[in-house]
């Protein structure tokens, strides 16, 4: 009894495809065998031609193989970062967070005079210094910028002092924009 007579047309087409794929593989196997025989005879530089072997398709895949399993095998392997790259990224991330949170940069050295909890000046020292400068200015008065320059502080701090504390002192009078004098 002939087996081919009992097969359907689709089965016959599949057998034909498998035979066509097997022929290049057999030729490649023969080339590899010839190269191995050359090594056995003592020839060291036996060229082994590289033949392109077609990848299995859905029609030629093993029975029971699904498209999902093919997709999984076709995905590239996950790349791993080297320890050096990981360390570099970690340092960059820490530096970014340090600047984002307003702290000093990672790896920077603290200034010698900037200790934690630096001592503040004597309570009321700023008030006394400003009153003294305003008194010395006389009837002409003194500007907030001049006071800030003489005290070595920021302009906006002195301006805020006049806005909050200075207005409570009756002897200090505003004589112009940002200019004050002593009237007492």
CATH number at residue 162: 1.10.10
Average pLDDT over residues 29-36: 86
In a domain, 129, yes or no: yes
Which pTM value belongs to this model? 0.36
pLDDT at 101 over 60: yes
What pLDDT shows up at residue 59? 53
Residue 39 lies in a domain: yes
Q: Say whether pLDDT at 158 is over 70.
A: yes
Q: Is residue 134 part of a domain?
A: yes
pLDDT > 90: what percent of the chain? 18
Distance of CA 77 to the CA centre of its chain: 23
Average pLDDT over residues 166-183: 88
pLDDT at site 119: 56
Decide which of 57, 74, 90 is a domain's last residue. 57
Say if 119 falls within a structural domain: no
Residue 92 within a domain: no
Confidence class of residue 159 from pLDDT cuts 50, 70 and 90? confident
Find the domain containing 155 and state its range.
Answer: 125-182
Q: Does the residue 90 lie in any domain?
A: no
Residue 20 CA to residue 184 CA, distance in Å, equals: 113
Domain assignment present for 98: no
Q: Is the pLDDT of residue 56 over 60?
A: no
Task: Report pLDDT for 146.
Answer: 92
pLDDT surpasses 60 at 86:
yes
Dihedral of CA 13/14/19/20: which sign? Answer: positive
What tokens does 116 get? 């934690």
Last residue of a domain, one of 16, 32, 57: 57
pLDDT over threshold 80, residue 111: no
Indicate the residue among 38, 57, 76 that finishes a domain. Answer: 57
More confident residue, 125 or 180: 180
- Give the whole-angstrom CA distance, residue 111 versus residue 125: 25
Give the count of domains, the chain: 2
Q: What contacts 24+ positions apart, CB below 8 Å, involve 64-69?
A: none
Residue 181, helix vs strand vs coil? strand
The predicted pLDDT at position 65 comes to 52
Rounded-to-integer distance, Cα 142 and Cα 75, Å: 77
What average pLDDT does the chain have?
Answer: 78
174 falls within a domain: yes
Write down the pLDDT at residue 51: 54
Question: What pLDDT is recorded for position 81?
Answer: 85
């Amino acid at each position: 009894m002939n087996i081919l007579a009992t097969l359907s047309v689709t089965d016959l087409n599949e057998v034909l495809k498998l035979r066509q794929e097997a022929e290049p593989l057999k030729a490649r196997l023969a080339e590899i065998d010839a190269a191995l025989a050359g090594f056995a005879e003592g020839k060291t530089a036996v060229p082994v031609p590289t033949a392109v072997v077609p990848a299995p398709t859905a029609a030629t895949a093993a029975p029971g193989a699904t498209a999902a399993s093919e997709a999984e095998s076709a995905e590239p392997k996950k790349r791993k970062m080297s320890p050096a790259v990981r360390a570099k990224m970690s340092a960059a991330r820490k530096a970014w967070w340090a600047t984002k949170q307003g702290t000093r940069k990672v790896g920077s050295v603290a200034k010698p005079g900037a200790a934690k909890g630096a001592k503040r000046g004597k309570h009321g020292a700023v008030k006394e210094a400003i009153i003294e400068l305003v008194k010395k200015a006389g009837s002409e008065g003194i500007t907030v910028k001049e006071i800030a320059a003489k005290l070595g502080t920021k302009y906006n701090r002195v301006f805020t002092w006049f806005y909050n504390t200075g207005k409570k002192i009756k002897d200090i009078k505003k004589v112009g924009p940002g200019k004050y004098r002593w009237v007492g």
